[in-house]
Structure 1
């Protein structure tokens, strides 16, 4: 009987949607010269409820009970704030030095030190068990939620259902929504009390539901996993992710280095690894100008701001942090803050996180400028893959090749000046019969 009622409700919602469109004088899509009206908020809300009804069999087929699903979606609605954030992403053009100014600030260090002291016993046990340093775990905690201050206040199921209903994140959100429902069922959570960011990340160290299912652990042995309020659970789960990602106990993440004049910058890429001895032979030294500590571990040279900025020699542990959050600026922030926390715990006097100077006069390219760069590179015959405004490995390789052909440091770092030169060259080539 309940199934019949739900089916009738579904038909009613479709009728209301059709009526709403009809009231606005909607015509058949594609009719010449006749625009299709934007659905009214009422129509969108009815369509969202129809989506929830339609998604129910998929959830049940994934092993979620009808009772859990019905409880979780009861009373939720299409969240306009989530929808707006999903469709109108802010421009991610903050330069890395500005990002690090905040991520590795004196306040972040002092708060991190206090957090480590307040949870010293728990963090020490977790660090010993998983082989991940206490300062790295604390740094991730600080970078993800500012030590619990920014763990998210949206209703997780509602946020993920809104993203799963429509928009550019459907492929991400639908598996996450199913995982969130499994979380609620397996851990006996009240779905209404499960909070997250607008994108579904939650807890002290901002897990997504699929990562929770694969890697979350009970950090304090109380028989329950609570990443929202239980610091031990959150940090143990984070340590478990890093351990599985390949973090090796007792090994460094990396350190700052200096490069010799005439260095072959095309060798500086996270995808290129060499033994430390090879970097020594190439003239790379520590930031203090001394010989590199010899190691058998493979290392990559990372130039987060190109040839004009600081350089870092990074090891597999750095790449383990990248598997936690695949953004090189994030991984560098975590590792640098970890160094600061370790020094503070040892009683060392505060020092600048980075010795080298950042090129603070450079403005990062906007998305439109990145699109223009990729378009121009394509016109010049370079394979950059998809023109999407994301400067990935192929785009960096194309910029490097162009720089090398023009006797410039081939660091692959795109600046406004390089964009101008490449765009002029592409325009000239296009204009030539």
Structure 2
């Protein structure tokens, strides 16, 4: 379900053959083995790790089948956030209260953030994936779509194997190679694995304290600012300069307040923030603080990141967002048509996939401003028709 699933490290260690992919699968594996030995891994360990490796067609199918990200925020968030997930989150918060207290003390990360990750990734550990992790990583590295992401993870898995923490034939997880309750890639486990329960091992598949503490360390490593918020629902006036909105357009909270933005409940912190309008100026509205950017090191999908961040606030006590009355959005086919038109006008919208990603949002906002429409980055039939 994830676009780039699980916790993905921001910095991947370099490989001299980073760009290699494709070709015959057996020859590709031979190259991996040679490179692993060059990196200093024991030859017998390398041979044992790759023995029986297979290309997994189901992994590639999963990588291509991510149409759920075409859904708008309201539909997507309502699909992922159920009352059962809220109730179980509260139950898990009580059960592991001491662990969350330690995380909040050591890393300054709210329990709502970790609970939301835990819920969305594996339903609190219940569904961790049954794909062979070694085969998944090698399959995705061989595929030429994103080899720079997955190839280094193979050598990290070899290192875990040499340490006795990875079984190439039995270790399973998500289709994109993540392992455990909060779905971490092998390199992330090496860098951020924590023995949270004190048994001398890092067991992300079976130990909730290990998984939660490791996830917290990962977020800290990615730049999470201790004790700071990440997202807050706000209200906005009926009219303002909507072109100021969008991720990556921070202004001081005092500037936003001068424009009529106010907290729906509570007060606004003295931090820079971007105004987020996931479905235009008539839909839900949020202020995103610096910690919100850390979510994009975990997943590249805007709608997924916003939903996870919002769910974290709900589990931390926030009220249900005001859905408002947003303008009717576009169908998947219409979105692809819009992306093609924007691309023809010189905008970089990435792949024509019907997903309202960052590039498409920026292009939509620019064309709305040019045409005298509310520049809120929410594509409508009116915009499509005018183009």
Give TM class, smaller chain: 0.7 to 0.9
> Secondary structure in 1 aligned to 2:69?
coil
Partner SS, residue 306 of structure 1:
coil
SS of residue in 2 equivalent to 1:255: strand
Q: Which residue of 2 aligns with 1:41?
A: none
Distance of aligned partners of 1:261 and 1:385 in 2 relative to their CA distance in 1, 3 Å threshold: closer
Whether contact under 8 Å (2:231, 2:313) holds in the other structure is no
- Separation of aligned partners in 2, 1:236 and 1:51: 36
Residue of structure 1 in register with 2:348 after alignment: 384
Q: Which residue pairs with 2:375 in the alignment?
A: 410
Q: Quote the Cα distance in structure 2 between the aligned partners of 1:266 and 1:162.
A: 42
Residues 340-384 of structure 1: CA deviation (Å, up to 9, x unaligned)? 3233xxxxxxx852123263x734542x5444323323444x443
1:356 maps onto 2:333 in alignment: no
Unaligned runs of 5+ in 1: 1-43, 344-350, 423-433
Match of 1:278? 255
Determine whether 1:196 maps to 2:173. yes
Cα 1:104–1:385 change in 2 (3 A) is closer
Deviation at residue 84 of structure 1 after TM alignment: 3.0
Residue equivalent to 1:16: none
| Residues 187, 225 of structure 1: 8 Å contact kept | no
Q: Say which structure, 1 or 2, has more relative contact order (CA 8 Å, 6+ apart).
A: 2
* Structure 1 match to 2:38: 61
Change (3 A) 1:250 1:115: same
Contact 2:276/2:286 (8 A) holds in 1? yes
The two structures, once aligned, show a CA RMSD in angstroms of: 2.6
SS of corresponding position for 2:273: strand
Compare the two structures and name the one with the higher helix fraction: 1
Distance in 2 of aligned mates of 1:132 and 1:187: 31
- Is the Cα contact below 8 Å between 1:104 and 1:353 reproduced in 2? no
* Structure 1 residues 47 and 324: CA distance shift in structure 2, 3 A: closer
Q: CA deviation at 1:139?
A: 1.6
Which deviates further from its counterpart, 277-286 or 55-64? 55-64
Structure 1 residue 314 displacement after superposition: 1.7
Which residue of structure 2 aligns with residue 127 of structure 1? 104
TM-score normalised to structure 2 length: 0.85
Structure 1 residues 29-428: aligned runs within 5 Å: 47-86=24-63, 90=67, 92-287=69-264, 293-343=267-317, 353-357=320-324, 359=326, 362-366=328-332, 369-380=334-345, 382-384=346-348, 386=350, 388-389=352-353, 391-422=356-387
What is the alpha-carbon distance in structure 1 between the residues aligned to residue 311 and residue 359 of structure 2? 30
Q: CA deviation at 1:141?
A: 0.8
Q: Deviations over 1:110-167 (max 9, x none)?
A: 0111122222222222222111112221121112111011211111001112222335
Question: Alpha carbons of 1:47 and 1:395: their partners in 2 closer, same or farther (altered >3 Å)?
Answer: closer
Residue 388 and residue 65 in structure 1: after superposition, are their counterparts in 2 closer, same or farther (change >3 A)? farther
How far apart are residue 221 of structure 1 and its match?
2.9
Deviating more after overlay: 178-187 vs 320-329: 320-329
* Cα offset, 1:416, TM superposition: 3.8
- Which entry has the higher C-alpha Rg, 1 or 2? 1
Task: Give the SS at the match of 1:257.
Answer: strand
Match of 2:287, SS state, is: strand
The two structures have a TM-score, normalised by structure 1, of: 0.77
Cα distance, 1:148–1:271 mapped onto 2, change above 3 Å: same
Which whole-Å deviations, capped at 9, do the CAs of 1:281-328 have from their partners, x for residues lacking one?
10112226xxx8353311110111112211101211222333333333
